[in-house]
Amino acid sequence: MEKKDLKGDDRISFVGKRDIWQDFVYKVKKNKKKVWQELEPILEDYIKSNWGFIMQTSLTEFKQTEELNQTSKYEDNTYINNEIEPNISNKYKYGQYFTKTSIVKRVVNLILNYKSYSKNIDILEPSFGTGNFISVLKDKEFNNITGCEIDSSLTDNPMDFFHFPIHNKYDLIIGNPPFTKYNVVESYYYPNNYLTSPINKEHYLTKKLLKKEKEKIENIFILKSLKHLKNDDSSIAFVLPISFFIKNRNKEIKEEILKKFSTIIVYQNDKVWFDYHIPCCFAIFTNTEKYNNKIIVIYENSEVHESVFEISSINEELIPEVIFNKNNGNTIQLNGIELENYLSKKRIKCNKSFKENNVSGKNILERTKIPENSEIKNYKLAIVRVGNSSVGKCGLININEDTLNDMFYVFDFKDSYINNKEIKEKICEEINKNQDYFKQITCRVGSKSIKKEDVYNFKVEI
C-alpha cells in the first residue's frame, strides 16, 4: 500500500514507522566513528523511548529498510547513504512529526474550554502536514480554515509559511509547527534564506534576530504568527517542544508573546503524541478575563492537575510534569540540608575524553569510596547529568588521575569539607540512594538531563 492511499492516523503510522527506522539507521551511521562506549547510552535511550515501535517491526523489516537506504531513493526524493553525514530526509529538514488525532481532539477541546469561539472564525494551520488539525476542526464544524504546508509530497499547493502574506489575519492560529533538531543544520530558520522572499522578514523578526545567523524554526513560527492575529480575541495554540518552557530559555520570544497576550495555558499529558516520542506540550497564548495575567499549567495523567502562576513567572520553569512531580511529593524533600551547603560553586577543571576515559556512567558506582592512603582533597564529586538510565548516579573521582567521558558534572567540596572523607562518601551514598529523585526532576527533554541547580538543591541527611 502506498502512503498516499492511507488516511489520518494510518497514514501517520505508515510514515512514522518508516521514519523510526530511517532515524535509527541515521543515528547509528552518524555515530559510527564513536567508540561503542559512547554510542551505547544513546542507543539505550533511543530503544527505550521507541520500544513500542521496535517491538512491532521485525528484524527482516529492518534489514530491508537498510538495503533500501543504501540502494534506492525514498518517496520524499532523498536517501540515506553510507556516508557519515547522510542526506537529510524531509522528516529531519522539515520536522515532520504528525500529531495523533486523539491528541489533536484533546487539545482542540482544551482551547474551547478556555475560549468560546463561534463556528465562523477564521483559522490558520500554518504547517498542516497530513492535515489532522484541519480534519478535527472541520468535524467540529469550523469551516473557515486556511492551511500552509511546504512539502509537495503532502499537498498539491505547497506554501512556505514564511512566504505567506502577512495581511492575512486570523482569530485562531493552531497547529504543530516544525521543531528544529539541534544537530540538523537544515532544520533551523536562516534569515538569509528569505532575502528575496515576497514577505520582508523585518516584519516578523526582532532586531536582535535579524542579526543572528539562525534560530529555532518553531520560535520564528511563533513570531510570524503574532503578525497574523486579527484582534485581541485572537489566539495562537501550538504544539511546542517541552524545552520551550525550561527556565530562562527563549526569553526574547516570550517577551514578544507577552506584548500580545496576558493568558498562557501550558498543557502536557502522559501520552505519546506522535509515532515517535518527543516530549511536547500544547501552549495556548490568548487573552481571557478570568485568567488575566495568569499562566495555567496543566498536567494530565489519569486526572487533570492544574496549577496557576502569575504571568511574571513566564521565564521560570513551566513544565507541567515537573510541576506535577513537585506538587505531588515525588521530588519534595522535607528533611535534610541542601548540597549547596557542602559543594563549592567554583568551576573545576577535570580531564575529559570522548575516547580515552576510565570513568563513565557504567563504572561510576564502583567509585563511591576514597581509597585508603590517598589524598582526600583530590577526590571530587562526579554526577551523571544525562541519560535515562544513568542520570543521578555519582561517585568520587580523583581529579589528578581520572579521565571522565562527557556525561558528568564535577563538583568540588567547600573548603571545610575538602579533607573530610566521611562526609564526601556519605554525600555520594545519599545521592545514589535517591536516583529516582533525579529521574523525576528531569523530564524536561527527550533524554533525561539535570541542571547543576538540581544538584545544589538536593537535600542530604548527614
Ligand X SMILES: C[S@@+](CC[C@H](N)C(=O)[O-])C[C@H]1O[C@@H](n2cnc3c(N)ncnc32)[C@H](O)[C@@H]1O
CB of 80 to ligand X, least distance (A): 18
CB of 1 to ligand X, least distance (A): 20
CB of 395 within 8 A of CB of 368? Answer: yes
CB of 396 within 8 A of CB of 422? Answer: no
Of residues 130 and 442, the one with the C-beta less far from ligand X: 130
Count of residues of this chain found to bind ligand X when the rule CB under 6 A is applied: 23
CB of 121 within 8 A of CB of 144? Answer: yes
Of residues 130 and 357, the one with the C-beta less far from ligand X: 130
- Sole binder of ligand X in the list 24, 53, 74, 161 (CB under 6 A): 161
Which H or E run contains 252?
helix 251-260
Specify the amino acid at residue 356: E
- Sole binder of ligand X in the list 122, 160, 186, 429 (CB under 6 A): 160
CA atoms within 13 A on the CB side of 420: 16
Name which of 315, 162, 143, 181 is nearest 227 in CA terms: 162
Kindly indicate which of the ranges 23-31, 156-164, 226-234, 314-322 contains the residues binding ligand X, using the contact rule CB under 6 A.
Answer: 156-164
Nine-digit cell at 150?
A: 511546504
CB of 244 within 8 A of CB of 176? Answer: no
| 458 lines the binding site for ligand X (CB under 6 A) | no
3-state secondary structure of 296: strand
CA gap 294, 459 in Å, rounded: 31
CB of 277 within 8 A of CB of 54? Answer: no
CB of 164 to ligand X, least distance (A): 8
| 219 lines the binding site for ligand X (CB under 6 A) | no
| 340 lines the binding site for ligand X (CB under 6 A) | no
| 16 lines the binding site for ligand X (CB under 6 A) | no
- Sole binder of ligand X in the list 24, 46, 74, 97 (CB under 6 A): 97
CA gap 291, 233 in Å, rounded: 14
| 95 lines the binding site for ligand X (CB under 6 A) | yes
Of residues 161 and 458, the one with the C-beta less far from ligand X: 161
CB of 297 within 8 A of CB of 306? Answer: yes
CB of 443 to ligand X, least distance (A): 21
| 427 lines the binding site for ligand X (CB under 6 A) | no
CB of 82 to ligand X, least distance (A): 26
CB of 279 to ligand X, least distance (A): 14
Name which of 321, 451, 446, 450 is nearest 44 in CA terms: 446
- Sole binder of ligand X in the list 65, 69, 99, 405 (CB under 6 A): 99
| 94 lines the binding site for ligand X (CB under 6 A) | yes
Tell me the residue nearest to ligand X as measured from the CB. 129
- Sole binder of ligand X in the list 149, 171, 275, 412 (CB under 6 A): 149
CB of 245 to ligand X, least distance (A): 18
| 175 lines the binding site for ligand X (CB under 6 A) | yes
Nine-digit cell at 312?
A: 511574571
| 279 lines the binding site for ligand X (CB under 6 A) | no
Of residues 151 and 306, the one with the C-beta less far from ligand X: 151
Q: Which residues contact 243 (CB under 8 A, 6 or more apart)?
A: 249, 279, 444, 445
| 299 lines the binding site for ligand X (CB under 6 A) | no
CB of 269 to ligand X, least distance (A): 16
Of residues 282 and 411, the one with the C-beta less far from ligand X: 282
3-state secondary structure of 380: strand
Long-range contacts of range 307-312, CB-CB < 8 Å, 24 or more positions apart? Answer: 311/258, 311/262, 311/263, 311/264
- Sole binder of ligand X in the list 24, 74, 98, 408 (CB under 6 A): 98
Q: Which residues contact 382 (CB under 8 A, 6 or more apart)?
A: 350, 359, 364, 367, 394, 395, 396, 397, 404, 408, 409, 410, 411
Of residues 149 and 454, the one with the C-beta less far from ligand X: 149
CB of 220 to ligand X, least distance (A): 9
CA atoms within 13 A on the CB side of 193: 13
Residues in 118-147 at the binding interface with ligand X, rule: CB under 6 A: 127-130, 132-133
CB of 152 to ligand X, least distance (A): 10
| 96 lines the binding site for ligand X (CB under 6 A) | yes
Applying CB under 6 A, which residues contact ligand X? 94-99, 127-130, 132-133, 148-151, 154, 160-162, 175-176, 178
